[in-house]
Amino acid sequence: MEVSKQELEYPQKLLNYMDGFLISKTMFAACELGVFDLLLEEGGPLSSSAIAERLGTSADGMDRLLAACVGLQLLEVEEHQGEVLYSNTDLSQTYLTKESPRTLYYSVAYYSQTIYHCFAYLTDAIREGTNQYQRAFGISSKELFDSLYRSEEEMLKFMQLMNSIWNICGKDVVTAFDLSTFTNIFDLGGCTGAIAKECISAYPQSRVTVYDLPKVLEMAGKHFVSPDEKRIAFHEGDFFKDPIPDADLYILARIIHDWTEDRSLELLSRVYKACKPGSGVLLVEALLNEDRRGPITTQLYSLNMLVQTEGKERMPSEYVKLLESAGFKDVQIRRTGKIYDVILGRK
Ligand code: SAM
Ligand code: ASE
């Protein structure tokens, strides 16, 4: 792709890329300080000094933060009888307030408190080819999820991150294929049960068992899944070591992308062994394009998998190869047009 003469003279795109993290951090700060929540709670516009006072910040700092949020179209500004007043835009009210049913607040919090710090060492991660928990957080652990779950607080924050994207992409991934013939579904590494909830709401005949590590399911029961959900069950286990119970569909959402080629194949082979003829496996992952030109979100996620995990994002052909190596056949791909896509294989 040739750049235009105009772009060579004034590289707007590069200037925008340099500002990328300034923009991120501005939005993160407004979220974390509670600007959007306060404006929602208040129900009407507030002055910068009132916001600063209510949130216990400096007046000058808050004034600049609010101005930048207006520039980012996260806030609206009006002048009323000589007073400058701020209110939420529809977008920030819907996605950046904590209690909204479509909230991304917890994704923002995790980006700000964890991913941002790992990306500070992106250069090192690329030199060394390994995740950066040691440098970013001063911890060394052989097992990936011992690092990701280095404290109860971190585990809850990670689970909230995992949960929040399904507010936006959940329905699309469970309906990309017609799964109505699968009634006994296991969600391996099912975490907070978010996908399980999407399944039972899309398929009235299905029962879903969330399979995850004991401490994760304990947290899921406390914070995410109500015991009234009779069609959702929990099963504690380690999918690399413990038996994988009978089911007619195994969902693995954002599992394979966490692991090396070898461990992925080991896990998928275990799932294949657990399958009966006709049983299926459904991978939910962000897919790279075969032509390597995008999507940029997934290309960036793959860098995130480098700084945070042992894994990477893959192209459809790579998932097909993994599934076929594990024994699966009739592998089909469906793109959703959102972040996460699906791959269905059969025994
Ligand atoms: N499937 C969920 C989603 O997409 O929102 C969560 C994906 S998260 C990246 C990976 C999940 O696998 C976590 O819930 C983690 O606790 C679980 N997990 C990791 N290692 C595991 C193991 N050895 N056995 C069972 N679950 C495991
Ligand atoms: C994982 C998914 C994520 C492991 C660590 C993770 C995400 C963030 N950290 O399986 C969600 C996807 N977001 C990004 C930026 O990759």
Beta-strand relationship, 329-334 and 341-346: antiparallel
Q: Give how far Cα 57 sits from Cα of 40, 134, 266, Å.
A: 18, 33, 52
Nearest CA to ligand 1 atom 6: 191
157 lines ligand 2 (CB under 6 A): no
Nearest CA to ligand 2 atom 16: 301
CB-based contacts of 155, cutoff 8 Å, min separation 6: 148, 149, 215, 216, 219
User: Which whole number is the average pLDDT over 137-151?
Assistant: 90
254 lines ligand 2 (CB under 6 A): yes
* From 117, 223, 235, 257, the catalytic residue: 257
- Distance of CA 149 from the midpoint of ligand 1 (Å): 11
For residue 45, whether the previous peptide bond is cis, meaning omega lies within 30 degrees of 0, is no
**Ligand 2 atom closest to residue 301's alpha carbon, by position in its atom list:** 16
- Distance of CA 305 from the midpoint of ligand 2 (Å): 7
Q: Can you give the pTM of this predicted structure?
A: 0.96
Q: Tell me, what amino acid is at 260? A: T
In this predicted structure, what is the pLDDT of residue 142?
Answer: 80
In this predicted structure, what is the pLDDT of residue 140?
Answer: 83
Q: pLDDT, tens digit, for every residue of 310-340? A: 999 999 999 999 999 999 999 999 999 999 9
Residue showing tokens 């992925």: 264
Domains and CATH numbers, the chain: 5-95 (1.10.10.10), 169-290+309-346 (3.40.50.150)
145 lines ligand 1 (CB under 6 A): yes
Among residues 224, 232, 92, 231, the alpha carbon closest in space to that of 158 is found at 224
Distance CA 68, CA 70 (A): 5
- Distance of CA 340 from the midpoint of ligand 2 (Å): 12
Out of 145, 254, 255, 312, give the residue to mutate to test ligand 2, the one with the largest number of ligand atoms within 8 Å of its CB. 254
Binned at pLDDT 50, 70 and 90, residue 139 comes out as: confident
Q: pLDDT, tens digit, for every residue of 2-43? A: 678 888 999 999 999 999 999 999 999 999 999 999 999 999
Binned at pLDDT 50, 70 and 90, residue 297 comes out as: very high
The ligand minimizing its distance to the Cα of 106 is: 2
Here the tokens at position 70 are 């207006």
Q: Please return the burial class of 292, using the count of CB atoms within 10 Å of its CB with bins 0-12, 13-18 and 19+.
A: exposed
Distance CA 280, CA 182 (A): 8
163 lines ligand 2 (CB under 6 A): no
Q: Is 80 a catalytic residue?
A: no
Among residues 300, 328, 321, the alpha carbon closest in space to that of 312 is found at 300
- Distance of CA 212 from the midpoint of ligand 1 (Å): 6
The ligand minimizing its distance to the Cα of 210 is: 1
pLDDT over 80 at 341, yes or no: yes
